Structure 1
Amino acid sequence: MSAKRRTPGTVLVVDAANVVGTRPDGWWKDRAGAARRLHEQLLVGDTPHDEIVLVLEGGAKAGVRSGRDQHVRTVHAAKDGDSEIERQTAAAVAAGSRVTVITADQFLRARVEGLGAMAMSPSWLLTFLTG
């Protein structure tokens, strides 16, 4: 990771299903492996955020344990990923953080923007991860 200074109080909430779904690399055959690869990229990627919250659902949860690993906190959605993303966003906004949510889901984007977060597309995140 570069020595780029991180802005205090910034949280990036990642809709893992949307991000891995943007790349036709066979993720549908190995959802756990796709989640693990995304997690590894987030660990070494250079985003300007203090914390990254990676939200996993379904079969992807088998790829990464829940909990913190450096600046990445992995959360396993109890039900659907969208509800967990909304819950994580609301908590971070309530704590005073500036929150960016990565998702391609237009309905979810509107919901998190209504909570005070900014929403960006998976391609925006991938530019940080692929250099």
Structure 2
Amino acid sequence: MMTGPDQVIVVDAANVIGSRPDGWWRDRPGAARRLLVRLAAFQERLQSSADVVVILEGAARAAVSGSDAPAVGALRVVLADGSGDDTIVAVTTELTDNVPDVTVVTADRGLRQRIEAVGATAAGPRWLLDQLDG
């Protein structure tokens, strides 16, 4: 019988990208593409110990379309139709029904309260960026 992962990391891409003042606001799709490339490499290093789900909203959604869309490997990319926060909560709620350890990466206090209410834990962008830099 095939089972799913024991851990899933859900990434609030807008919040992680916005945590570093590196000019991301001049090219949101480009900033999202750079994050996706780094997250795909991170997912590969994790192998099967955890899955990574990335939520893209607004202009950053364009990062996964067109000829310059990055290869994302096993990364799961979810495009928010409306509110990125609402999409993160919906995805997280679904995951916590089936996965013992769901961590949402965001610094948004309101979002943290919402995901903790459905059984997930929160980590800040610094935690993830340290993982990506390491």
Instruction: Give the TM bin, normalised by the shorter chain.
Output: 0.7 to 0.9
Say yes or no: does 1:129 pair with 2:132.
yes
What is the CA distance between 1:31 and its match in structure 2?
A: 0.3
Give runs of aligned pairs for residues 1-131 of structure 1, distance below 5 A.
Answer: 8-45=5-42, 46=45, 49-65=49-65, 69-131=72-134
TM-score by length of 1: 0.87
What is the CA distance between 1:50 and its match in structure 2?
A: 1.9
What is the CA distance between 1:9 and its match in structure 2?
A: 1.8
What is the CA distance between 1:47 and its match in structure 2?
A: 5.2
Runs of 5+ unmatched residues, structure 1? 1-7
1:25-56 deviations in Å (ceiling 9; x for gaps): 11001000000000000011245852111000
TM-score by length of 2: 0.85
Runs of 5+ unmatched residues, structure 2? 66-70
The 2-side partners of 1:108 and 1:63 are apart by 23
Give the length in aligned residue pairs: 124
Tell me which stretches of 4 or more aligned residues in structure 1 moved more than 3 Å.
46-49
The 1-side partners of 2:99 and 2:50 are apart by 13
